[in-house]
Amino acid sequence: MTRIVEKETSPSDFYRAALENGTLVMHPYCACGNGLDEDYFCEKCQRECHCHLIICQDEATLDRVRRYIRKSSQFSGFKSKLVEES
């Protein structure tokens, strides 16, 4: 039988999230680490990015993001993790 192995360590486009004055603020980044504008096009990689991962600054931000993922259809396609998690 053939075993399928998926790479979990491959870089992906992501949002960096933090709570600022009680409000969730997210900024998009390409997998290469380059910050993205509103069009999500990476000038460095010359490609359109698709962010499906939210990297949270701290536990409070992670809790808020996970609550949104559970309760909001707009967040249902996202995964989240803390900045320190691998």
pLDDT band at residue 84, thresholds of 50, 70 and 90? Answer: confident
Q: Which residue in this structure is represented by tokens 């396609």?
A: 77
pTM above 0.85, yes or no: no
- In angstroms, the CA 71 to CA 76 distance is 8
Structural contact between residues 44 and 30, judged by C-beta atoms closer than 8 angstroms: yes
Structural contact between residues 16 and 25, judged by C-beta atoms closer than 8 angstroms: no
- In angstroms, the CA 30 to CA 72 distance is 24
Per-residue model confidence as pLDDT tens digits over 15-71: 999 999 999 999 999 999 999 999 999 999 999 999 999 999 999 999 999 999 999
pLDDT band at residue 5, thresholds of 50, 70 and 90? Answer: low
